[in-house]
Each structure stands twice: as structure tokens, then as C-alpha cells.
Amino acid sequence: MSAADKVKPAASPASEDPSAIAGNISYHAQYSPHFSPLAFGPEQAFYATAESVRDHLLQRWNDTYLHFHKTDPKQTYYLSMEYLQGRALTNAVGNLAITGAYADALKKFGYELEAIAGQERDAALGNGGLGRLASCFLDSMATLNLPSWGYGLRYRYGLFKQRIAKEGQEEIAEDWLDKFSPWEIVRHDVVYPIRFFGHVEISPDGKRKWAGGEVLNALAYDVPIPGYKTKNAISLRLWDATATAEDFNLFQFNDGQYESAAQLHSRAQQICAVLYPGDATEEGKLLRLKQQYFLCSASLQDIIFRFKERKADRVSGKWSEFPSKVAVQMNDTHPTLAIPELMRLLMDVEGLGWDEAWAVTNKTVAYTNHTVLPEALEKWSQAVMRKLLPRHMEIIEEIDKRFREMVISTRKDMEGKIESMRVLDNNPEKPVVRMANLCVVAGHTVNGVAELHSNILKQELFADYVSIWPNKFQNKTNGITPRRWLRFCNPELSEIVTKWLKTDQWTSNLDLLTGLRKFADDEKLHAEWAAAKLASKKRLAKHVLDVTGVTIDPNSLFDIQIKRIHEYKRQLMNILGAVYRYKKLKEMSAADRQKVTPRTVMVGGKAFATYTNAKRIVKLVNDVGAVVNNDADVNKYLKVVFIPNYNVSVAEVLIPGSELSQHISTAGMEASGTSNMKFSLNGCVIIGTLDGANVEIREEVGQDNFFLFGAKADQVAGLRKDRENGLFKPDPRFEEAKQFIRSGAFGTYDYTPLLDSLEGNTGFGRGDYFLVGYDFPSYIDAQARVDEAYKDKKKWIKMSILNTAGSGKFSSDRTIDQYAKEIWGISACPVP
């Protein structure tokens, strides 16, 4: 039956009345049909609903653009290679405060809004925390009415889909654009040429210009981002690469040379084909660099266009005004090429001299560092850079040269440090450009993402620069949007919070949550809180059953670790802990087992396709689960589940149902973590190390409401030294857990290489670099404290309430407000 059979179509978009909305949904099912207009199943209903919501968004988005245009405020442009947007429908109707109206409208077709929202595919244009942070930031920018936009790439295939097969993780291309995305608007009027390769031409007057090579087009797709209860809607502008009809060689095609006729078209397709092309090959590295440049060049051309568009007299200069109108934030080093690209555009296209262009660039760009892991600090081969971007390489060389001269002439005492501080590493074996150094040298501000991390940047990674530019370095502790991560994903708990605080304003003023503290012992609140948790746990249990076939008990302690699989995040310690627990259970008498706190250990996350040890960890969790969950002696007391294909919408189901979550990285290695904030906000207690934002979460929620264990960041180097010197004495429990796996208790797969990484004093893939062995005993002890605490229901619920109550600081609204004031110098510009 078609939609029109049920509700008469109505073209008018922006109504908030359920009947009118139903008419509009019916209209979209009829007149923007992507399916037969004669059918109206849940999928069709989703697309028609999304298009109807998009009409609301477009109106706001247009108004906001015009308002910014007229007011001409200073605007921030957030450059990021990653955005983990997840689904958009629930968030959009929630932010527009029309959830009820859409729910009622859909009922007229016999559908529940929640089920229709579940039809949407996740937009997974990112890997993990860094990409999800960018998405939370957009939500806060819009909510705070800040003049700001995001720029990114429109990957055809986002982060891979994870399937768990017998051999472990399998990657499948994620096809979020398989049908189409109802949220994006293709902008055929926004197209910029992007050059690759070629050479530098020098004109008789000495002017340098980049020419030749191949030129592709960047085409804009806009995704409107609505703020919460505001008229503002900002833009996430995603670039796609295209080639033109002129690039299509009709002569060759007619001659039967189909592939070479469309060469440039297929090269254009490669650019935005995937997030993170494998970079084991030279081709892969080149493609990744192309992607980065593509993002930077298109975005900066667009930024300059808008700067000129907003005031007529800017067309012919006024460049000194640029930094008072434009702030560019580089999300990690991935968009570093914004620096030489802005220099090139200002000098070669706009005709500025070096000093003038440098002053503008420096005042415009700022850099956020998200990691101290050496392998993640990008370094590009100078040869590849010179081949792909010859003019940019010249500019980078000049930046490097001038930086050196500056240090030599002003800071004699730093001479010995210059080589490691330089932008270029001219090591003859492998000359590279160090992107982080370029960001530090060129940017006006550098920030870390949690206090501990920012201190490590200042004291270690960037210490030498601090002595030159003491005021360049800041901290901006990460945050998460309370809309998606409590209000919309956990309606039961949200309602309770609103009821007890007597206001729902916490949704955009999260500090109000401290008001819950005074009710932390209230029995009525306890009862409501426990009921909400149980409802979320049941929903979680249903998800687990649906995707794994494993039945879990909602009355057991739900213990969750979800994040990218990485040795430094130590999922291996978690599973060794579960193995140890299982072994002890097996050894216990039936009577003793009765006293045990039943637990369900859940682990989810994707391993990078070529990261062998991470994949072995995924396999191990699955193998342990297969044995434990089928062991009738003990599976009442312990289940171990690997949650496949962890992504944003899975997180939205898991986090509300969590009671304990694990944030157990080797201290000093996790820059911040952001899921820790989501868990704590949802009343989940953390077991964790003093790492990243854990430190601040523990301060806020109170140390009694956090299970702490493990070495501190400043001990780690010493502990590694001790280990190298043979001074480490493993705890017998650690040996026992490893030995149990080696004995074949979990199948025949060869875990030797994985377990060997924990053995020995030193050596490649050995020596326990991440200190699992050192931290294991204190981890097991902390878990025992968890078991005890969970037995006291009252105590546990109080801890849970106090976690929520102490989460106010971790709103991305707070983070973005600080960026706006302390880095960008922008202020709110609400549409009247």
C-alpha cells in the first residue's frame, strides 16, 4: 500500500503539526520517490521521513547562511579528515524539538519512530575517537550558535564493516551511500579545481607559479547540522572529487580504449573512495597524501571565496583583515597541508609577499594534537611530497629554513636542539617532512585534549618549542554532546534526570547535573534509577542476542570495553582477566560459586586490517567466549561476548545499559578517551588507569566512585627500564592466565605470538611494552573490589548516580566554548 493511500500528500515542508507532517512524508514518498511510490515499507518510510525533516533543516540552514553573510562575524572552519556522524534522524528531530510530532505523524502510517530511525545507515566517515569528537563538536558549535563550519571528505566507503568469522575479523566495505544519503545536498555551484603533480614555473619577474600536472574538481556536498533548540543550522561540507566531460577522451573511447579514455575519471573516483587507504604500498601513501591535500585545498579556496563574498572591498586585498574573520582548526596533523596551501594561495594567487602571507597564515591556523604515539605522528617522504606538490614542498623548505635562522639568531642556547625541532628531517636514508613540527612552527596555538596529555605535550613531545613560544600551548579537555549521548540514546534516564532536576535544561547546560548529588541517597530515586538501568540492560541484551545468538542475563553485572582494538588500550589485559576469572570459577566448589557476582564481559571494537596482534586479540575474545558461554558449570556466573561491528549506533545501545566500563590503557598513552565520558554520563562506573581524561573524570565524580589501578604515567619509563634490566617479577596470577591459554583451553588457534609479546625483557614484539604484566595484579584486585561493591546494590546505585552527577564538565559545549574564546576568538551569532 502506498503512503498516499493512507495520508494525502502535502508539499509544504516546515510544519510542526503531526497531520501536516504526515502529509509531507506522504508527499516525499510520492514525489521524491527513490522506490516505487506504490510501496511504503519501513525503509521507504525512513527515506521519506528523512527528506521531510531535511526540509526543516534546509530552511534553517539557509537562514543561518544568510545571517552569517549579513553579520560577517569571525568564523571558524574545522578541518578534519574524519567525522563519525552515525545516524542523523533521531538527533535531527530531537534538536529541532519535533520528535513527538514526527512520532505521531508516523503512527498514522502504522510505524514507530524508533523503528523507522533504526533503518538508517551509520555515516562512518571516521575511525574512532578523533572522528566522533569532530561530530560532537559540530553539534555543540551549532547549539552555541557559533559561526563555524566543518570541512571533510565524502568517502564513498566509510570505515569497514566488521564480520566475525571462524578465522576472526573480516572486513567488508561499508556502503553508507548504497542507496543514497537523504541528508546531503549536492552543490553544483560550489566547485574548485585541485591540481596534483606538475612543476613550478618562474616568470621573468621572479614570481613562482605551480602549473601542469593533472587537475580534478572538488564538488561540495552540504550536510546541515542543526543546533539544539536554536534556529541555527551550520554546515558540514564534504568534498567529492570529480573529473569533467573534457577529461573524457571520446576519441579513445570510440577507438575501444575504454579504460584509458576515462583515466582521469577513475583517478578522481579513487580520491574519495575510502577512508584510510592501506598505506603499506607507495601507491597507498600517495593516495592518502592526495586526500589530505584535496581536503585542504578545496576548503581554503572556499574559505577565501566566502571571505571575499561577504564584503565587496575584500576582492582586491585587505588580507590583514583575514585572521580577524577566519579561524582554521586542524584536527590532528591530517590537514597540515592547509599551511603551505594558504601560503601558496596568498602569495601565488593573491600576490602577497612572504612576510605578509606568513603573518596571515600564522594568525589563522591552530593545531590540535590527539596522540603521542610515535607511529601516529605523520611524516611524509620529501620525495613523494615534491612529486605530488612541488610548490608546497618549496614553501615547506622555506618555512624550515626561516625557522632555523630564527632559532640560530635569537636562541643560541637552543642550537643543539634545532635538528629535532626542524620541519624537515634530512636524514639521507629517509628524508621526511614532520607534519606535527610544521603545525607547531606555523600555528598560533597548539592544544592537547586532556590535562594530562597537554602536560605531556608541554613537558616531553613539544618541550623544546615551549621554551621558544611559552604561550603557544593550551589544554582543551575533550567533551561529548549530551544530546546524542544521554538525552536521545537514553530516554529513560533522561526523563528521571529531568524529573529530579525539575528542568530539562541540563541538555544544554550539563553542569546542572550536579543537582543530582543531593538525591544520591534518596530511595525513590534509587528505585527509578535502577528501573531505567534495567530497561537499558534488557535492550542491550536483545541486541547481543540478535547479533551474536548469545543470551545474557540482565541481572548480571554488565562490564563493557568498546573502542578501537589496540595494544596500548589493553583489551588483552581485559581478556586475560576474564580467563583468570573463568579458571577460578572452574576451580571453585558449587557452593562457593553461589557467592560470586555474576558478570557479563563485553568487548567490541575494530582492528585495523593490517594490525596482526589487534586481530589476534579479537579472535581470542571470541574463542574465550565460545568456551565460557557454553560451559554449563559456570556460565551462570560469567559470559564473555564479543560485540561485532562496533559503531556509533551500537554504542548508543551499549552505553546506556553499561554498569562498569573499562578504560585501562597504559598510563600516558591514551590522549583523552571520550567513551569514558559517555559511560560516566550514563551512570556507569569506570575501572581505569590514571590516563587521559580518566584523571579528570575521577576528580569530578569522586575517587570513591571510580575503580583505580595501575602504574602512573610518570612511572612508565622507569618500569620499562626495569623490565629491560630483567628486574620485572611477574605475578603468579598473570602467569596462570597466560599458561591457561597456552594450554589450549580455548581452542587450537596459535596464540603464541600474541602471548609472547608479553614475555621477555625486550626485543621486537616482546618485552611487554604496554606493561600488561606490571598492571595485571592491581587490575585483578580492582576487579575484586568491583565484585564486592556490586553486591551492595544501594552503594552501587549511589556510585552510578554520582557518576552522572559529576559529568557536567565533559559536555562538548564546555569544550567548544573554550575553543571559541581561548583559541578562535569567535562569538555567538544566533539567527534572530
Give the separation between CA 814 and CA 506, rounded to whole angstroms. Answer: 13
Nearer to ligand CR1 among residue 94 and residue 131 (C-beta): 131
CA-CA distances (angstroms) from residue 523 to 5, 82, 490, 789, 797?
51, 44, 21, 18, 10
Question: Which helix H or strand E contains 679, and what residues bound it?
Answer: helix 675-681
CB of 453 to ligand CR1, least distance (A): 8
Other Cβ atoms less than 10 A from the Cβ of 328: the count is 26
Q: Judged by CB under 6 A, does residue 331 bind ligand CR1?
A: no
Nearer to ligand CR1 among residue 119 and residue 474 (C-beta): 474
Q: Judged by CB under 6 A, does residue 688 bind ligand CR1?
A: no
Q: By CB under 6 A, which span of 523-531, 665-673, 779-787, 791-799 interacts with ligand CR1?
A: 665-673
Residues 182, 209: contact at Cβ < 8 Å? no
Mark whether 563 is an active-site residue. Answer: yes
Nearer to ligand CR1 among residue 145 and residue 481 (C-beta): 481
CB of 120 to ligand CR1, least distance (A): 24
Q: Using alpha carbons only, what angle is made at residue 313 by residues 312 and 314, rounded to the nearest 5 degrees?
A: 90
Q: Judged by CB under 6 A, does residue 692 bind ligand CR1?
A: yes
Mark whether 564 is an active-site residue. Answer: yes
Q: Judged by CB under 6 A, does residue 135 bind ligand CR1?
A: no
Mark whether 417 is an active-site residue. Answer: no
Helices 523-548 and 793-805, packing angle to 10 deg? 90
CA 827 to chain centre: 25
Q: Which of 657, 628, 659 is nearest to 642 (CA)?
A: 628
Residues 560, 662: contact at Cβ < 8 Å? yes
Question: Which helix H or strand E contains 49, and what residues bound it?
Answer: helix 42-71
C-alpha torsion sign, points 44, 50, 52, 54: negative
Nearer to ligand CR1 among residue 289 and residue 525 (C-beta): 289
Q: Of residues 447-506, which lie at the interface with ligand CR1 (CB under 6 A)?
A: 449, 478
Q: Judged by CB under 6 A, does residue 673 bind ligand CR1?
A: yes
Task: Give the β-pairing of 446-448 and 473-475.
Answer: parallel
Long-range contacts of 700-706 (CB under 8 A, 24+ apart): 700/806, 700/807, 700/808, 700/809, 700/810, 701/802, 701/803, 701/805, 701/806, 701/807, 702/802, 702/806, 704/799, 705/799, 705/802, 705/803, 705/806
Q: Judged by CB under 6 A, does residue 672 bind ligand CR1?
A: yes
Nearer to ligand CR1 among residue 20 and residue 376 (C-beta): 376
Nearer to ligand CR1 among residue 23 and residue 604 (C-beta): 604
Residue at grid coordinates 576474564:
578
Catalytic residue among 28, 56, 74, 370: 370
Mark whether 188 is an active-site residue. Answer: no
Q: Judged by CB under 6 A, does residue 152 bind ligand CR1?
A: no
Q: Of residues 434-453, which lie at the interface with ligand CR1 (CB under 6 A)?
A: 449
Q: Judged by CB under 6 A, does residue 332 bind ligand CR1?
A: yes
Q: Judged by CB under 6 A, does residue 377 bind ligand CR1?
A: no
The secondary structure of 398-456 as a DSSP string is HHHHHHHHHHHHH-GGGGGGHHHHSSEE--TTS-EEEHHHHHHHH-S-EEESSHHHHHH
Catalytic residue among 108, 564, 742, 795: 564
Give the separation between CA 442 and CA 339, rounded to whole angstroms. Answer: 7
Q: Of residues 36-55, which lie at the interface with ligand CR1 (CB under 6 A)?
A: none
Among 222, 670, 696, 813, binds ligand CR1 (CB under 6 A): 670
Q: Which of 319, 365, 439, 305 is nearest to 76 (CA)?
A: 365
Residue at grid coordinates 618555512:
399
Question: Which helix H or strand E contains 58, and what residues bound it?
Answer: helix 42-71
CB of 378 to ligand CR1, least distance (A): 9
Q: Which of 654, 651, 648 is nearest to 87 (CA)?
A: 648
Q: By CB under 6 A, which span of 1-9, 642-650, 667-675, 781-789 interacts with ligand CR1?
A: 667-675
Among 671, 687, 716, 780, binds ligand CR1 (CB under 6 A): 671
Q: Judged by CB under 6 A, does residue 133 bind ligand CR1?
A: yes
Among 58, 177, 359, 376, binds ligand CR1 (CB under 6 A): 376
Q: By CB under 6 A, which span of 152-160, 381-389, 666-674, 756-764 interacts with ligand CR1?
A: 666-674
CB of 194 to ligand CR1, least distance (A): 24
Q: Of residues 775-794, which lie at the interface with ligand CR1 (CB under 6 A)?
A: none
Contacts of 61 (CB under 8 A, 6+ apart): 222, 224, 233, 234, 235
Among 169, 230, 371, 803, binds ligand CR1 (CB under 6 A): 371
CB of 333 to ligand CR1, least distance (A): 8
Q: By CB under 6 A, which span of 591-599, 625-633, 671-679, 718-726 interacts with ligand CR1?
A: 671-679
Q: By CB under 6 A, which span of 97-105, 503-511, 668-676, 801-809 interacts with ligand CR1?
A: 668-676
Among 50, 130, 342, 719, binds ligand CR1 (CB under 6 A): 130
Contacts of 795 (CB under 8 A, 6+ apart): 789
CB of 568 to ligand CR1, least distance (A): 9
Nearer to ligand CR1 among residue 82 and residue 623 (C-beta): 82
Give the separation between CA 288 and CA 380, rounded to whole angstroms. Answer: 10
CB of 461 to ligand CR1, least distance (A): 13
DSSP 8-state secondary structure symbol assigned to residue 122: P
Q: Judged by CB under 6 A, does residue 343 bind ligand CR1?
A: no
CB of 274 to ligand CR1, least distance (A): 17
CA-CA distances (angstroms) from residue 376 to 277, 333, 379, 669?
15, 9, 9, 12
Nearer to ligand CR1 among residue 13 and residue 604 (C-beta): 604
Q: Judged by CB under 6 A, does residue 674 bind ligand CR1?
A: yes
CB of 62 to ligand CR1, least distance (A): 32
Q: Which residues of 196-229 are buried (b: 16+ CB within 10 A; e: fewer)?
A: bebeeeeeeeeeeebeeeeebbbbbbbbbbbbbe
Q: Judged by CB under 6 A, does residue 370 bind ligand CR1?
A: yes
DSSP 8-state secondary structure symbol assigned to residue 605: -
Contacts of 124 (CB under 8 A, 6+ apart): 84, 85, 86, 158, 159, 174, 176, 275, 647, 648
Catalytic residue among 361, 364, 368, 674: 674
Nearer to ligand CR1 among residue 129 and residue 323 (C-beta): 129
CB of 663 to ligand CR1, least distance (A): 10
CB of 369 to ligand CR1, least distance (A): 8
CB of 373 to ligand CR1, least distance (A): 8
717: buried, middle or exposed (CB in 10 Å: 19+, 13-18, 0-12)? Answer: exposed
User: 548 — phi, psi (to 5°)?
Assistant: -125, -15
Total number of residues that touch ligand CR1 (CB under 6 A): 16
Q: Judged by CB under 6 A, does residue 606 bind ligand CR1?
A: no
Catalytic residue among 28, 458, 563, 581: 563
Active-site amino acid positions? 370, 563-564, 569, 674, 678
Note the residues at the interface with ligand CR1 (CB under 6 A).
Answer: 128-130, 133, 332, 370-371, 376, 449, 478, 670-674, 692
